[in-house]
Amino acid sequence: MRTLYGMHYSGWTEKARWALDHHRVDYRYREHMPLIGELALRWRTPKGTHPSVPMFVDEDVATTTGSFAIARRAETLGQGSALFPDSAMASIQRWEALSDQVLGIARSSVVSRLSHHPRAQAESLPSFIPGFLRGVSAPTARLGARFIARKHKAMADPEAAIRQTAIPALEHLRAELRGRPYLEDGFTYADVTACMMLQFTRPVDDAWMPLGPGTREIWHHEAVAAEFPDLLAWRDDLYAKHRRPQARALSSGSGGAASRVG
């Protein structure tokens, strides 16, 4: 059985899931827990590859890592309209590079905010930890946040990076769209990867990406969201038209969650 390992709130994981679901690929999803799941992740990662999620494991072929590579793999495995038409490849690669840059800034911002948000810390704990222990287990969540920060070399001042890089990227997206529904002639991976830059301004609705209230709060950057209501409306319209709802019951933590998709 094909398995996708990821982190449900991660823009990178969401890009991979969107492509797999768009092409109706049958797979199982498993939540990766930072720090706790690191040894298992390293064991699954091919030699010479940085251990990270999303990671797509297929028993018959080599493991695929990274949202872009997984999305390309989905196109070869599944069916439906192409997300990577030849005519759009230059645009797709350009938006993928910019999206990855903004997502890196968003990750640094969220990790920083998590360190000071007890409710989000409790929600980030594995689902097997009972509710009455979540308060006293907060140091474990903070340790996990520090581990992510070290592993991915989180920025010391993500707010400065948001002003200098993320906001100009969103302004560029607005200029490229010019009110159109898609960046290219139709829906492509360029739209998927570009719209993910908006996740840190205001997360997409729970129907597509269920988040606990604390987690949603640390992903919501009100000042930036207020500058781009048109782009948020564009992103929400893309989801409504092209993304199958992922809503499922939320426990007090999503760690260890597994679901069958396809």
Quote the distance between the C-alpha of residue 28 and its chain's center: 17
- Every domain of the chain and the residues it spans: 3-82+247-261, 86-242
Instruction: Check residue 221 and give its pLDDT.
Output: 95
181-220 per-position pLDDT tens digit:
999 999 999 999 999 999 999 999 999 999 999 999 999 9
48-97 per-position pLDDT tens digit:
777 678 999 987 677 898 999 999 999 999 999 999 999 999 999 999 99
- For 234, the enclosing helix (H) or strand (E) is helix 229-242
Question: Token match 């996708």: residue?
Answer: 4
Angle between helices 138-151 and 89-114 (to 10 degrees): 140
Does this chain's domain 3-82+247-261 share its CATH topology with 86-242? no
* Beta carbons of 63 and 46 less than 8 angstroms apart: yes
Domain 86-242, CATH: 1.20.1050
- Measured distance CA(173)–CA(169) in Å, rounded: 6
Q: CATH classification of 3-82+247-261 is 3.30.2420, yes or no?
A: no
Of 96, 105, 17, nearest to 54 by C-alpha is 17
Residues ≥6 apart with Cβ < 8 Å to 215: 9, 120, 123, 124
- For 240, the enclosing helix (H) or strand (E) is helix 229-242
Instruction: Check residue 132 and give its pLDDT.
Output: 41
- Measured distance CA(17)–CA(218) in Å, rounded: 22
How far, in Å, are 35, 55, 62, 213 from residue 40 at the CA level?
10, 12, 17, 29
Instruction: Check residue 254 and give its pLDDT.
Output: 42
**What's the token pair of residue 39?**
């040894």
Query: How many CB atoms sit inside 10 A of residue 179's CB?
Result: 7
3-state SS assignment for residue 128: coil
**What's the token pair of residue 160?**
């400065």
Residues ≥6 apart with Cβ < 8 Å to 39: none
195-204 per-position pLDDT tens digit:
999 999 999 9
Is the pLDDT at 42 greater than 60? The verdict is: yes
- Measured distance CA(53)–CA(16) in Å, rounded: 10
Instruction: Check residue 136 and give its pLDDT.
Output: 45
